[in-house]
Structure 1
Amino acid sequence: MLENKDIREVIPHRYPFLMIDRVLEIDDNKKAVGIKNISANEPYFQGHFPDNPIVPGVLIVEAMAQLGGITVMHGKKNNDMIGLFTGINKCKFKRVVKPGDQLKIEVEILSSKLNLVKAKGIATVDGELAAEAEISFMLVEKN
């Protein structure tokens, strides 16, 4: 299990853009399970939508990508790399995610060649599918 401080040692994201609160399970370079607790205080709810707050779908996909980055970067001594999106495929949104929900994200690494990674992510709330996508990203050196 990785707590928030452990996650911040692996990926460079910080509040308000850190989308993973805890990693429950991790099998380096293979798969991971993480959670994001959705608070009514999330800054994006001020505009999306004030009278009907809904987590933007792109941020759910971002949570999948961050967990994918954690999966491939965890345990590496040289943490001078960041992941940059190269693609999002087969993305579907099935359920609204709102304040009070706990988003459970599962990522499986499908391939990792050189610095190119392809992964499948699913996000659920109370066992109900909220979103799924195939994501790809490239690991590049931080500037």
Structure 2
Amino acid sequence: MKKIMNVEEIMAAIPNRFPIYYLDAVTEFEDEKHITAVKNLTMNEDFFQGYFPDEPMMPGTLIVEALAQAGSLLILKSAAFEGKTAYIGGINHAKFLEFVRPGDTLFLNFDIQKVKGPVGTAKAWATVEEKVVTECEFTFIVGDKEQKR
């Protein structure tokens, strides 16, 4: 797996931080179109301690959050959206098809389908060992970064 971006480069681009930061690397990037990011899961993840601790698995909502972070990175690193930020406007047709467990490598894919003004749509899916574990559609809104007060 060839890394295009590492953790430090990703963290410089998106605002998410621990404990709600879920990207370890980027392996594919096509400006304004597609990204594949990676999340390596270990038993040390805090959510494994409380979410079905006898049968640990990553909560589906956090997989969707990881997909959104990959999408945010694609948007923020794309030339057309330079200096902007991205927000989730909607999540549609989310399906959770397989469990994601400690030791898995989660590949997070986000494809922008359409952009009209500041609003766009995307298809997103997560895989483990090339098997789709989660899929959904996003509506996103691109806006100016708010100034810190």
TM-score (norm 1): 0.91
Q: For residues 39-50 of structure 1, what are the structure 2 equivalents within 5 Å?
A: 39-50=42-53
Cα offset for 1:84?
Answer: 2.0
Q: Note if contact 1:121-1:132 (Cα within 8 Å) is conserved in structure 2.
A: yes
Counterparts of 1:107 and 1:139, CA distance in 2: 15
Closer, same or farther: CA 117–41 of 1 in aligned 2, 3 Å: same
Superposed CA RMSD in Å reads 1.6
Give CA deviations for 1:46-94 in whole Å, capped at 9, x if unaligned: 2112211110101111111111111111155954x43221111111111
TM-score (norm 2): 0.88
Closer, same or farther: CA 29–78 of 1 in aligned 2, 3 Å: closer
Counterparts of 2:23 and 2:31, CA distance in 1: 16
Partner of 1:104: 107
Identify the match of residue 142 of structure 1 among 121, 142, 146. 146
Runs of 4+ with deviation above 6 angstroms: none
Q: Which amino acid aligns with 1:66?
A: Q
Partner of 1:91: 94
Q: Which amino acid aligns with 1:90?
A: H
Partner of 2:30: 27
Counterparts of 1:45 and 1:75, CA distance in 2: 33
Cα offset for 1:99?
Answer: 0.4
Counterparts of 2:115 and 2:86, CA distance in 1: 12
Cα offset for 1:142?
Answer: 2.8
Stretches of structure 2 lacking an aligned partner (at least 5 in a row): none
Partner of 1:59: 62
Give CA deviations for 1:121-142 in whole Å, capped at 9, x if unaligned: 1111001110100011212323
Counterparts of 1:109 and 1:103, CA distance in 2: 20
Count of aligned pairs between the two proteins: 142
Q: Note if contact 1:88-1:135 (Cα within 8 Å) is conserved in structure 2.
A: yes
Work out whether 1:74 is the aligned partner of 2:77.
Answer: yes
**Which secondary structure state, in structure 2, belongs to the residue aligned with residue 139 of structure 1?**
strand
Partner of 1:11: 14
